[in-house]
Structure 1
């Protein structure tokens, strides 16, 4: 039986609101958290988006990105330029995909329904969710370890040399699980609690990292030797051989957010506010944390005779109890802020999208937390080659094909036009396609993914690549995944659009 279309309202700035959700409330694919956000609740300002990115970017893995690049032979200038360029590039698909969130008030998995189908959207939503679970585990382990190290500085041997369980001291496990519980309590209170947390923690975290820098440089009497060290790669073929795969890794660091930013921009007060906030937020804060990390570590090398890239380990060397406490508070807030926004919000929506009538946003966050422990992903950051080229590079190339499908479908084929009610229709509507799946998007994603990461080599992958003749493509995985996903989906969908 056909369902009467619900009325929509378009604001002067182009945002669309579904004024009556009653025709779709009984759909299996609807719940109140996946529903379009009413106009009156789209209140996020430029500062909210800037603070969001400041909170997500200022964390320990971001701090140690430069260390990973320097460890493979770059000097500080090469590392800084690679990080900055990567974030400027990933900002482009991020802003393109953010537009739909603000215009229609919908989260990422509902946006995906327009291209993959009502059911098919779960394919990419759950792919994104499981990557977020792994990142949640990484951040929670890193944050718990930082907490353990700095408390050890204050508490001494009874804490640091406590009996071991499963290869780690019980005090480290206590910090890890305590960290986990705090994050679950915040996510249980919903998106508004996360927004408030990001707003007030963002400036405190930045101040904390600057305090670390000021203390080290003051004690060392300067910025230290790293700034004078020459690149082991030079600027010739050896550098360029590593530059492009490293750049793909830097892009991949935020490639997940380039897909699911509608989860946040759906609350945007206008397109201008979300665009300005993100432009001010992402590349500037990532460049800021990179240069602070480089300068702090260089000063620490002059002070302690070795490069200490882990800020928690560095803080544990300080003589001032006050500075140690500032470092503890900053690192804890930084890690929680980044983890909640980057790694819990999206999978909470994604798991809810898979079973809208059974899984709420809060329950989806709990699932994320449990899987983040089960996956044990902290091993990924122990080796910079595995971290950058295997972990970041592989999933970055895979998700790039999804971004290509989104950009082609929303901007080129659909001209930014979506039919809100049809995104929730059960067994009918233009986004039901064939049994809830759009095979064109699936084919584009698979082909894009295979072309991007089929030649994966190094680390856990064969030296000649999983698919040897595609080995060369893996060094450019993100770009290739994006382009192939875009082209294939556009080619397969162009004729279909004409027949609608």
Structure 2
């Protein structure tokens, strides 16, 4: 006799230790990477999670996230508050979704099967993958522009030539593709240097701007640029959504990391401290430097690549751009290729290898026009960050509602790796989760769609478009709570029938 209770409480790795065909995992749903972690693999302590967040926070896009708030008109206090509040908010779904990873040792693609079904789980996995493709393109554009700035430093006659930027961008993109083709191991030696490289680069920028601005006083004395309090709040709420959206992807697949936690306390304390502290600490560098750029150059320069290009010391600028390039390459491969490559490969393992999945990631990154999202701080915040949070917020709401309110944190780990069990739903897809997801996304993006079509419906003589467009500003929040609530209502009648029960043979 095999008891599910023993699987749920004593040995999370038991599902793949089958005792006969009756409990053997489905080959389409199981491999060594997806299997629950063994006790011997659960070695991550509080320190490991703190270090993880510091390593993930110290990158160019975090700097630009903070700098964009200054460029948008905030002063440094308002920017720090927005970043801190946004990260405290996103910490909640982060910890909630992290619980299953630490308890059962399962990664995100397996965990999401509980709510979407074994086939339906491909939908949220692909949404996450597409967002990662966008980030791949954005990081490639940052790297390409860094190379272009180095060319400008070495050959001043190339300044202002668009073909230089595009050639450098495509060259850096090809470099990333070459790394993917040769395997991620080809740059593993760089990973240990990513954090110190970005720290040194940030310190270099801070020192340079501090000296130019005449100290911290002038740097941080710059006032906000909002004419009224209403103008501030109009910028604040979408910016807060962007802060939450910045980590919306990881708030879904955080079980990929917490499955290695020594215990729940290790991941909870480590993340509760590491995420907000790391983000506020590193973001402050971007805030301070961008505030100083307003004093020194008369306008906020939110891109560190552009700012490095304005250094009057060519050697210093060249070294800084090289450091930024190395860090960008490392982050791009580690954070934006591995995940989507596995997601694409999971769709058809027989035909799509990790290498092929990586190439798909690269080409989709190109098609998502990263130069547009980084052309202005508004496109970066209101277009990219707020936009994709509207796709991932509903998924997070459904996962949290399913795990905590429907299943009360009880999962049947055997059935997560098999077809035909309690997670089969309708031919492997949970239609209730799909309905909740679609409704949440439509509500968020419905106003933008109607605006694009030139339509503005009325109810009782009142135009609806302004109200519908306002939903977009709160994309992640509306998606999370609306889709979560709809899913809860649709699944409530099944709540008592889906709890795992002991099975005998």
Name the TM-score class by shorter chain: 0.7 to 0.9
CA distance in 2, matches of 1:57, 1:64: 12
Name 2:15's counterpart in structure 1: 18
Name 1:209's counterpart in structure 2: 202
Matched, 1:55 2:48: no
Name 2:178's counterpart in structure 1: 181
**CA contact 1:58–1:338 (8 Å) conserved in 2:** no
CA distance in 2, matches of 1:107, 1:319: 48
CA distance in 2, matches of 1:461, 1:60: 36
Name 2:42's counterpart in structure 1: 42
CA deviation after TM superposition for structure 1 residue 331, in Å = 1.6
CA deviation after TM superposition for structure 1 residue 101, in Å = 1.7
Q: How many residue pairs are counted as aligned between the two chains?
A: 489
With over 3 angstroms needed to count, the CA separation of the structure-2 counterparts of 1:337 and 1:110, relative to structure 1, is: same
Name 1:495's counterpart in structure 2: 493
CA distance in 2, matches of 1:51, 1:337: 17
Alpha-carbon RMSD: 3.3
CA distance in 2, matches of 1:72, 1:328: 25
CA distance in 1, matches of 2:443, 2:183: 40
Instruction: Give unmatched runs, 5+ long, in structure 1.
Output: none
Secondary structure in structure 2 of the residue aligned to 1:32:
coil
Name 1:453's counterpart in structure 2: 445
TM alignment of 1:137-156, pairs within 5 A: 137-150=137-150, 152-153=152-153, 155-156=154-155
CA distance in 1, matches of 2:367, 2:185: 20
Secondary structure in structure 2 of the residue aligned to 1:391:
helix
CA distance in 2, matches of 1:58, 1:460: 37
Match of 1:400 among 384, 393, 398: 393
CA distance in 1, matches of 2:346, 2:125: 8
Matched, 1:413 2:412: no
**CA contact 2:400–2:484 (8 Å) conserved in 1:** yes
**CA contact 2:116–2:433 (8 Å) conserved in 1:** yes
TM alignment of 1:85-484, pairs within 5 A: 85-150=85-150, 152-153=152-153, 155-157=154-156, 160=158, 168=165, 170-182=167-179, 185=182, 187=184, 198-223=191-216, 225=218, 227-233=220-226, 236-320=229-313, 323-324=316-317, 326-361=319-354, 363-426=356-419, 428-456=420-448, 468=465, 469-484=467-482
CA deviation after TM superposition for structure 1 residue 219, in Å = 4.4
**CA contact 2:143–2:169 (8 Å) conserved in 1:** no
1:316-361 per-residue CA deviation (whole Å, 9 max, x = no partner) reads: 3334566435523442343234434442333233223322454455
CA deviation after TM superposition for structure 1 residue 255, in Å = 0.9
With over 3 angstroms needed to count, the CA separation of the structure-2 counterparts of 1:458 and 1:157, relative to structure 1, is: farther
CA deviation after TM superposition for structure 1 residue 157, in Å = 4.0
Query: Normalising to structure 2: TM-score of the pair?
Result: 0.85
CA distance in 2, matches of 1:182, 1:144: 16
CA deviation after TM superposition for structure 1 residue 231, in Å = 2.0
With over 3 angstroms needed to count, the CA separation of the structure-2 counterparts of 1:209 and 1:21, relative to structure 1, is: farther
Name 1:69's counterpart in structure 2: 69
Instruction: Give unmatched runs, 5+ long, in structure 2.
Output: 458-462, 499-505
1:395-444 per-residue CA deviation (whole Å, 9 max, x = no partner) reads: 21221111111111111111111111211213x11111110011111111
CA distance in 1, matches of 2:130, 2:5: 36
Secondary structure in structure 1 of the residue aligned to 2:447:
coil
CA distance in 2, matches of 1:130, 1:121: 14
CA distance in 1, matches of 2:326, 2:415: 40
CA deviation after TM superposition for structure 1 residue 100, in Å = 1.3
**CA contact 1:55–1:334 (8 Å) conserved in 2:** no
With over 3 angstroms needed to count, the CA separation of the structure-2 counterparts of 1:278 and 1:342, relative to structure 1, is: farther
With over 3 angstroms needed to count, the CA separation of the structure-2 counterparts of 1:156 and 1:224, relative to structure 1, is: farther
Query: Normalising to structure 1: TM-score of the pair?
Result: 0.86
